[in-house]
C-alpha cells in the first residue's frame, strides 16, 4: 500500500482511497426457494394465481397483479435464447475468456428470462431462438447460487419460432 501512495524519496502525489461496504444480504423467502432449487440442480419458479405467468427467479409477488405468488413450479432444463451479446471487451475482474456469449434465456414454461453464459458454440453461430440447455456443476459442487449452472449450450433442437418468445425481448 505504501508503494501505491508514495515514492519513498519524493513528495506524495497519490493517495489510496478505497471505498468498502460490508453488508449482509438476504434474498428473502421467494428467492431463497429459487436458490435452494439451484442447490438441488433444479430451476424452481412461481406462478401468479391471477394472470398465470411463471416467474423464475420469483420475487414472491406478481409485478403485474401485485399479488403474492404462492404456487411453486418446477421448470425443465431447456430454454430459448431470446437475445444475446458477444463480449469482446476485456474488463477488470473478468473471469471468462473472451470472446464469450451472454444471453437472455427463457426457460420452457417460464414467462421471465434471465441472463446466462452460452458455451460449446462458436460465438458467430449464436442466434435468437436458439434452443439451449443448462450444464450444471458436479452434484458435489452444487450451491444455492447461479454459479451452480456452469453455462448453457445448444441442445440440438430446431430453433424456436419467433412468436414463442417475441414478448420477452
Partner 1 sequence: MAESEVLHAEHRLEYPYARSTGPVIGAFLTALREGRFLGATGSDGKVIVPPTEYDPITSDDVGELVEVGPGGVVDSWAWVSAPLRKHPLQTPFAWALITLDGADTGLLHVVDAPGPDALSAGARVTARFRPEAERIGSMADVEAFEIEGGAS
**Separation of alpha carbons 45 and 4, rounded Å:** 48
* Nearer to partner 1 among residue 14 and residue 89 (C-beta): 14
13 grid coordinates: 502525489
**Shortest Å, Cβ 104 to partner 1:** 25
- The answer to whether 52 touches 157, Cβ cutoff 8 Å, is no
Q: CA 155, 97, 94: angle at the middle one, nearest 5? A: 115
Question: Does 6 contact partner 1 by CB under 8 A?
Answer: yes
Pick from 111, 107, 106: nearest CA to 55: 111
Pick from 45, 34, 49, 60: nearest CA to 112: 45
Stretch 109-148 residues interacting with partner 1 (CB under 8 A): 144
Q: Which long-range contacts (CB under 8 A, 24 or more apart) does 18-22 make?
A: none
* Nearer to partner 1 among residue 57 and residue 79 (C-beta): 57
Kindly indicate which of the ranges 25-33, 49-57, 74-82, 157-165 contains the residues binding partner 1, using the contact rule CB under 8 A: 25-33
Kindly indicate which of the ranges 1-9, 42-50, 99-107, 108-116 contains the residues binding partner 1, using the contact rule CB under 8 A: 1-9
- The answer to whether 92 touches 70, Cβ cutoff 8 Å, is no
Question: Does 9 contact partner 1 by CB under 8 A?
Answer: no
Question: Does 95 contact partner 1 by CB under 8 A?
Answer: no
* Nearer to partner 1 among residue 39 and residue 120 (C-beta): 39
166 grid coordinates: 417475441
* Nearer to partner 1 among residue 46 and residue 104 (C-beta): 46
* Nearer to partner 1 among residue 70 and residue 155 (C-beta): 70
Q: Could you list the residues that contact partner 1 (CB under 8 A)?
A: 1-2, 4-6, 11-29, 31-33, 35-36, 144
Amino acid at each position: 500500500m505504501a508503494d501505491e501512495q508514495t515514492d519513498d524519496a519524493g513528495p506524495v502525489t497519490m493517495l489510496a482511497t478505497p471505498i468498502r461496504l460490508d453488508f449482509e444480504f438476504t434474498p428473502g423467502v421467494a428467492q431463497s426457494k429459487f436458490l435452494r432449487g439451484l442447490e438441488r440442480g433444479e430451476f424452481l419458479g412461481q406462478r401468479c394465481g391471477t394472470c398465470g405467468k411463471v416467474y423464475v427467479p420469483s420475487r414472491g409477488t406478481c409485478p403485474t397483479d401485485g399479488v403474492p405468488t404462492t404456487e411453486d413450479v418446477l421448470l425443465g432444463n431447456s430454454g430459448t435464447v431470446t437475445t444475446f451479446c458477444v463480449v469482446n471487451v476485456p474488463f477488470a475482474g473478468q473471469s471468462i475468456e473472451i470472446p464469450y456469449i451472454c444471453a437472455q434465456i427463457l426457460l420452457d414454461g417460464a414467462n421471465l428470462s434471465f441472463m446466462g453464459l452460452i458455451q460449446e458454440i462458436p460465438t458467430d453461430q449464436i442466434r435468437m431462438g436458439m434452443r439451449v440447455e443448462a450444464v450444471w456443476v458436479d452434484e458435489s459442487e452444487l450451491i444455492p447460487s447461479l454459479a451452480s449452472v456452469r453455462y448453457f449450450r445448444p441442445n440440438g433442437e430446431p430453433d424456436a419460432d419467433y412468436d414463442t418468445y417475441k414478448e420477452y425481448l
